[in-house]
Homo-oligomer: A and B are copies of this chain.
Amino acid sequence: MKRNLADRLLGAIDEKKNPSVVGLDPRIGMIPEHIKEDAVERAEDPFEAVRYSFVDFNKALIDSIEDIVPAVKPQMAFYEQYGHHGVRAYHEIVDHAKKRGLIVIGDVKRNDIGSTAEAYAAGHLGKVELADGHHEPAFDTDMITVNAYLGTDGIEPFLKTCKDHGKGIFILDKTSNPSSGELQDRTIEGDGRVYELMAELIDGWGRELTGERGYSSVGAVVGATYPEEARKLRNMMKKAVFLTPGYGAQGGTADDIIPCFNRDGYGGIVNSSRGINFAYMREPYSEDYGPEEFAEASRRAAKDMKDDILSSLEKGGKIPEGW
């Protein structure tokens, strides 16, 4: 029996006294020239040069924040768009972050019918069958994000894999983007909003995966950009950890994320990607750091984010006991 992921996640949050996660969203146009030049020199083809650029950039970023944050969240889209070279970079970055003791949340938003969802679950969270019949892990991330438009039978393979391998998922509920309401805010006859129906489903799916600390390995994605909805959802899914994107670049503030936390000070983990990854290009960090010091700029931005969140949690009366 593997240790419950929610227990591990809360433990990591306690250790760093920081309920935040840094998204790893590399964009080739924003990676410092000296990294790209070095990568191009070593690479045998232009896609391999992107792989080297992404790996070098992200390893330095991870090493600069590993003592500050409990988790990182590589966004698969930015890697996958470069085909197998990009996916190899994703895998190498996942491995590196795990070696640094970080919890790795693969932001993949996978979804499919049951027999196919099994393959996604095996590859990202479990073990896959090889040609000689034995099983090995592939990506082996700790958690992934999942889209539940297909309902229970597309989610069950992920739940089973989470149980067997001590892993977790975050299911999309109320997403941070401007048009999330087109479907998610609609009212269902006799059952509240679509995001409330989804909350009921998530709460049910997560019940069997509740850990010793009262939280489940089945969490929910709830955007920082919708604090009112977050407040309602917090009451409906008491055991779920909310992965909260939208802080920073998307306009959510630290005060906006307070409703995502329970009174005990847990239940939220706030993501920032662009604001940390490319801090060296942004005010105020760009005043003090050049492209050569991009990792130091990211470190300072990650610390500032932590301070920002903690001061809002304090203001909201939601600092965990003993921090």
Contact = CB atoms under 8 A, between A and B. Distances in A.
Contact of A147 (B28, B50, B149, B181): B149
Majority SS of interface residues in chain A? helix
A109 to B, nearest CB: 5
Contact of A175 (B46, B113, B132): B113
Contact of A197 (B78, B88, B183): B183
Interface string A236-251: 0000000001000010
Contacts of A122: 81
B191 A189 contact: no
**Copies held by the complex:** 2
Interface string A263-284: 0000000000000000000000
Interface of A: 25, 28-29, 36, 39-40, 46-47, 49-50, 53, 75, 77-78, 80-88, 91, 109-114, 116-117, 119-120, 122-124, 128-133, 136, 138-139, 147-154, 172, 175-184, 186-189, 191, 194, 197-198, 201, 245, 250
A181 B132 contact: no
A81 B119 contact: yes
